[in-house]
Chains A and B, each alone.
Chain A
Amino acid sequence: MRLLLLCLIFVSYSALAAIEAYEFDSPEMEADYVTLINELRCLVCQNQNLSGSNADLAKDLRRQTHEMLMQGKTPDQVVEYMVARYGDFVLYRPQFKTSTLLLWLGPFALLLLVLVLVVRHMHSRQTLAPPDAEAMQKAHQLLSDTREK
């Protein structure tokens, strides 16, 4: 029971983090807002997004996001605005560009490399030359020798 209460405290706390009652012109705009604050990082508490953080800066950035959307800015323009000030780090989903190429493609390149190595390894095992007649003869000889003893 105590544990349950304790859990409830944390649940309500995290739900309360972003509770400013912002008004929006349309439900689409509100959806954009929610998407944005979930994808933008709070720079003070680096492992939280704007929606999950109670930090002052996160509040200010939520206000900024809301204002920009109300001014008719698109979500892309809001993201651009944040990146221009805080850098790529503000994005939880980094953009795909030359400096992030390794980040996006690195895992796939590694997977490909491992696959190539595995295939080559298996191939080299299969193509082991079959023993020639002389060697077979010798092997048989050895086997029968041990059996006789």
Chain B
Amino acid sequence: MRFAIPLGIFIIIVGLLAYGLQLDPKKVPSPLIGKPAPAFSLAKLDAPEQFLAQKDLLGQVWVLNVWASWCVSCRAEHEIITRLSALNLAPVIGLNYKDEPDDARRWLAQFGDPYTTSIMDQDGRVGIDWGVYGVPETFIIGKDGLIKYKHIGPVTMESLEAEVLPKLRELTG
């Protein structure tokens, strides 16, 4: 009985620490979920004279995948994005983040181009608007133009099946 209070405090602290260990400090919750997709108008990677703007995509569900040829985990993710794109659930727009266009084109030629189209954000300004701080990142934008989902880091097979696809099916359904 004498030990009830210290033991109680001990258990609470262990509980809090155990919870803290489960958290990933790299996963910063995005304040952008539920907010309108930030506006942009960027040149296409495969046709630099053409521009794609966020308002061109209004009224449909679409995916924005932030990638770069210098990004190692993008290579790991490439297969998953290819799979996602092949399902034809929604257009997958690639945001080529702070990359050299020639390197980016070579990367797509080498590994295959899963993107409906890729747009170039060479100086990273659109990335800042979207709160991008690590590549790759993946966003799902709804018909209403609001951001519905954000995935930080490479999408894995598990997160594709468990999160991305259900979200897309729910939104396009």
The interface of chain A, by Cβ under 8 A from chain B, is 43-44, 46, 56-57, 60-61, 64, 83-89
If A56-B98, A56-B124 touch, whether A85 touches B25 (CB-CB below 8 Å) is no
A87 to B33, CA, bound (A): 11
Cβ of B30 within 8 Å of any chain A Cβ, yes or no, is: yes
Check B98 against A85 for contact (C-beta < 8 Å): no
Check B25 against A87 for contact (C-beta < 8 Å): no
Residue of A nearest to B124 (CB): A60
Closest 10 pairs (CB-CB, A-B): A43-B133, A85-B131, A87-B31, A89-B28, A60-B124, A86-B131, A57-B133, A87-B28, A44-B133, A64-B128
Check B128 against A84 for contact (C-beta < 8 Å): no
A60 to B124, CA, bound (A): 7
A36 vs chain B, min Cβ distance (A): 15
Cβ of B29 within 8 Å of any chain A Cβ, yes or no, is: yes
Check B130 against A85 for contact (C-beta < 8 Å): yes
Selected from B28, B128, B134, the residue in CB contact (under 8 A) with A61 is B128
Interface string of B16-58 (1 = CB under 8 A from A): 0000000001101111100000000000000000000000000
Q: Which residues of B contact A61 (CB under 8 A)?
A: 128
Q: Which residues of B contact A85 (CB under 8 A)?
A: 31-32, 128-131
Residue of B nearest to A56 (CB): B98
Q: Which residues of A contact B124 (CB under 8 A)?
A: 56-57, 60
Q: Which residues of B contact A43 (CB under 8 A)?
A: 28, 133-134
Selected from B26, B28, B123, the residue in CB contact (under 8 A) with A86 is B28
B91 vs chain A, min Cβ distance (A): 24
A12 vs chain B, min Cβ distance (A): 27
Residue of A nearest to B123 (CB): A60
Q: Which of A46, A60, A83 has the most CB of B within 10 A?
A: A60
Q: Which residues of A contact B32 (CB under 8 A)?
A: 85
Q: Which residues of A contact B31 (CB under 8 A)?
A: 83-88
Q: Which residues of A contact B129 (CB under 8 A)?
A: 85
Residue of A nearest to B25 (CB): A46
A-B contact pairs, 12 of them (CB 8 A): A43-B133, A44-B133, A56-B98, A57-B133, A60-B124, A64-B128, A85-B32, A86-B28, A87-B31, A87-B131, A88-B31, A89-B28
A7 to B80, CA, bound (A): 46
Q: Which B residues between 96 and 148 are near A, CB-CB below 8 angstroms?
A: 98, 123-125, 127-131, 133-134
Q: Which residues of B contact A86 (CB under 8 A)?
A: 28, 31, 131, 133
A55 vs chain B, min Cβ distance (A): 9
Check A60 against B28 for contact (C-beta < 8 Å): no
Residue of B nearest to A83 (CB): B31
